Amino acid sequence: MSLSTSLSIAVQSLNAASGALQATNNNIANANTPGYTREVPILQEGAPTDLGNNVSVGDGVDLVRYQSVRDELLQTQIQQETQAQSGANAQLSSLQQIQPTFTTSTQDIGTEMSALFSSISTLSTNPSSSSSRQAVLVAGQNLATAFNTASNTLTSQQAGLNTQVTQDVSQINQLTKQIAALNPQIAAMQAAGQDGGTLKDQQDQLVLSLSKLTNVSVTQSNDGVTLSTGNGTALVVGSKSFALQTATDSSGMTTVIDPNGIDITKSISGGDLGGTIQTRDTTIPGLLTQLNSLANQFASAFNNVQTSGTDQNGAAGIDFFKASGTATTISAGNITMNMTDPTQIAASTDGTSGGSGNLVNFSNVQTIAPAGGQTPGNAYASLVYQVGSLTSNANAESTATTSSLNQLNDQLSSVSGVSIDEESANLITYQQAYEAAARVVSTIQELFTVTMSMGTAAAA
Amino acid sequence: MRVTNMLPDIQYQMQQSQQALASATQQVSTGLRVNQLSDDPAASANMVVSLASSANVDQYTSNVNSVLPRMQTADSAMSSIVTSLNSAVTLGTSGASSAILTANKQSISAEVQSVLASVISQANTSYNGVYVFGGSESTTPPFVAASTTYNSSQGSVATPLTTTTALTAGSLTTIGDATTGETMTFKAASGDTVATLQQAIASAVVAGTLSAGTSATINAQGQLSIGTNDASSGIVVTSNDIVLGTMAADPNTAVANAYAYVGNSSVNTVQVGDSLHVATNLPGSQLLTAGANVIGSLTSLINALQSGTDTQIGTATNAVSSALTYVGQQRVPLDSTISQLNSQDSYLSQEKITLTTQQDSLVGISLADAATNLSQAQLNNGAVLAAAAKVMPQTLLDYLK
């Protein structure tokens, strides 16, 4: 082997060590960059040189490429868990805002219901008292207001979530567009034998952001990632993205339409959009149905008692509650007082002056359940349990998915993350390799010098 | 396993321990284990039911406190009536003696008149504006001095009421009869006229509710005139019908020492327990005019002392004595109600404590438990922070210098 060959090997070593240092440098620089996947230099031993006489010698080292250390399975699991976490968080956020309305306070439905029954009981001690009669009217209006407030809270939440659907769809379309744009760039780099790690990292981060918004299926192909919705409709294929649309249904709710014009609202189950739709279309309507049923049954029971009695003027009782506006069916949102005159309270069963026989029937509304139903107090308690239970479940799911996501991130970080300690050690390793290669160059230089001065030196 | 960056885990653990610390602090500051529905949905739902029960107990207690003094006032009034009747029996017994001069009988009669006035005063006892012996009609004095004729304020010579004049549906016209001690109440139905009222009065006479001769006519002034032929007794008429207007006694027809009942016979009840209702008023007709007619017996004794024979005075005195026994009997259920209310008050106090204890166990937390939880949370938080402080600054670079 000639000195020139040795020098060439030493230069290759310098280049390899320098390249490895560059990878280490890049890893350290991106140690805290979200989504960064560490790169390792791929070094390859040079093909051996046959020196004859069955003697061969290694031909140095080549820096073949840089390679990102990825785990696609973990990445997919993180995307799925992110969808579940975002869905749970969306539900939890809404329910946490609904919850205080049903928490015991001075103005919740349960308290106002008790206050109404108490005012009626007080009236029974002196049915002719105008102040006690007025108190019944005030308590009735307070209960109606409590029903209105609870209903408004639920419908306001629903309206807010409806707006969120449009915003989420808009963000999804932006992300799919960006993801599709990266596909050909990554494919081109991979075709050229490059890793494309930086662009892949960007794309993974965009897919993760998309997973926070909705459930998507991710598959890899030669053209890059292919994304599709829960019902299998393509969102990204190669360099093309297919935008979702929104429309408004007959009830004023925003629906999600796929690129083929199909309403996919019901099939969206994960991510913020899935959680938002679940809360908007299932959770809140369920609570509203129960609330409306309670308000309607309570009002009907009170109206039945009121119209079966006789008021202070000797006239037949008129309805206690009514639906406001043009509505004909009483619900939590429209319930209001029908009576404005305290003398209209039908305390008597037969018109006897000062009679209170009908007040017992008002009080019985509290304890007698309608056919196939519950007493008003128990019905409200069921509603309270349901709100609490839904919130608690969403909270538990959010906590569980967060914990699971942390574990998955730890695992991914274990594979793809940058360890400063490890990189520091690598730094020393490659520094020493570089110094050693430099020493080889220096030694060969000395040998060259000795060789070039052969004869002259001896003469000296 | 490669461990690259512990910061996310440390941050998560710090958040968890700080949430636990905040929760423990809230428990200490509020004394509640359940501060929002999701903390314990089942306990929150049970709390709704328990609070409703609590509100009922509070209301029952309020009702007891409202009704009990009223009942005690009624009992006190009846006690005074018993005393007055004892006095009347004593006076009647002395007046029945042939040895008593007529002039002295007149004097005794005057004393019995005072007794009657006292009984009427007690019978018109009110508590906080509620007449306790008026039945459910508690806004006006139930016992009123009787007259033989009452005239409506509506109707005139120019525009007289007639038998075909329509009455206001739902209006009430009441006629108390001092002789029978009973009261007739007429509630006008839709389509009823003055003639309907006349027929009702006639039917009441036949039934014995009103004394013979009681009738309603249109007088020369075009007014409705309701009167009785019994000049020694009389009636009291009230009406809230705007067609008739106020029924006023003819001042020339007042009957001395005669009083009629214009309350009603209804008994209102009030709930003082989940399944316990007690009467809140007493019909004066039941106490003082029905059965042994207390007021009628005193009126008869006065009349007998003024112009009767010794035998008649004796008979009238015996009637007062019977009335005295009757009143004593009527006090029994009243005393029973008072006793029941006192017992219920004690029961409700205990029930309130039971419910409060139940609510504490549902959503509350003892100070000791809360303090222990807080201490534990502080310890955990401190440990997490200490561990973070130890781990975070450590890198290989520290040792390579």
Q: Do B4 and A355 touch (CB under 8 A)?
A: no
A225: closest CA among A172, A268, A185? A185
Question: Phi and psi dihedrals of A128, rounded to 5?
Answer: -90, -5
The beta-carbon neighbor of A103 closest among B37, B52, B60 is B37
**Predicted ipTM?**
0.85
Looking at CA atoms only, how far is residue A400 from chain B in angstroms?
13
Q: Which residues pair with B175 in a beta bridge?
A: B184, B237
Looking at CA atoms only, how far is residue A445 from chain B in angstroms?
32
Helical (H) or strand (E) element with A195: none
Q: Do B138 and A126 touch (CB under 8 A)?
A: yes
Looking at CA atoms only, how far is residue A389 from chain B in angstroms?
5
Looking at CA atoms only, how far is residue A148 from chain B in angstroms?
19
The beta-carbon neighbor of B12 closest among A100, A406, A421 is A406
Domain map (residue ranges) of chain B = 41-133+288-364, 143-262
Residue B140 burial (C-beta neighbours within 10 Å; 0-12, 13-18, 19+): middle
DSSP A67: E
**Beta-carbon contacts below 8 Å between A and B:** 197
Q: Do A103 and B44 touch (CB under 8 A)?
A: yes
CATH T-level topology, domain B41-133+288-364: f41 fragment of flagellin, N-terminal domain (1.20.1330)
The beta-carbon neighbor of B1 closest among A125, A313, A414 is A414
Q: Do A418 and B268 touch (CB under 8 A)?
A: no
B142 has a chain A CB within 8 A of its CB: no
Q: Do A419 and B59 touch (CB under 8 A)?
A: no
Weakly modelled stretches of chain A, pLDDT under 50 = 459-460
Looking at CA atoms only, how far is residue A398 from chain B in angstroms?
13
0.90 exceeded by the pTM? Answer: no
With contact defined as beta carbons under 8 Å apart, do A243 and A186 qualify? no
CA distance A417 to A38: 6
List the 3-22 stretch of B: residues with Cβ below 8 A of A.
Answer: 3-5, 8-9, 12
How confident is the model at residue A379, as a pLDDT?
94
Average confidence (pLDDT) per 10 residues, chain B, 401 residues: 81 93 94 94 95 96 95 95 95 87 88 95 92 88 93 94 92 88 88 95 94 93 92 88 93 88 89 92 84 86 90 94 92 92 96 95 94 96 92 80 66
Question: Phi and psi dihedrals of A215, rounded to 5?
Answer: -85, 120
Q: Do A424 and B172 touch (CB under 8 A)?
A: no
B246 has a chain A CB within 8 A of its CB: no
The beta-carbon neighbor of A384 closest among B9, B45, B136 is B45
Judging contacts by C-beta atoms under 8 Å, the chain A residues touching residue B137 are 352-354
CA distance A437 to A444: 11
Three-class SS of chain B: CCCCCCHHHHHHHHHHHHHHHHHHHHHHHHCECCCCHHHCHHHHHHHHHHHHHHHHHHHHHHHHHHHHHHHHHHHHHHHHHHHHHHHHHHHHHHHCCCCCCHHHHHHHHHHHHHHHHHHHHHHCCEECCEECCECCCCCCCCEEEEECEEEECCCCCCCCCCCCCECCCCCEEEEEECCCCCEEEEECCCCCEHHHHHHHHHHHHHHCCCCCCCEEEECCCCCEEEECCCCCCCEEEEECCCCCCCEEECHHHEEEEEEEECCCCCCCEEEEECCEEEECCCEHHHHHHCCCCHHHHHHHHHHHHHHCCHHHHHHHHHHHHHHHHHHHHHHHHHHHHHHHHHHHHHHHHHHHHHHHHHHHHHHECCHHHHHHHHHHHHHHHHHHHHHHHHHCCCCCHHHHC
CA distance A444 to A3: 7
pLDDT in tens, A338-369: 999 999 999 998 778 788 999 999 999 999 88
A357 to chain B: closest CA residue:
B268
The beta-carbon contacts of A42-45 under 8 Å, at least 24 apart in sequence, are A42/A66, A42/A67, A43/A16
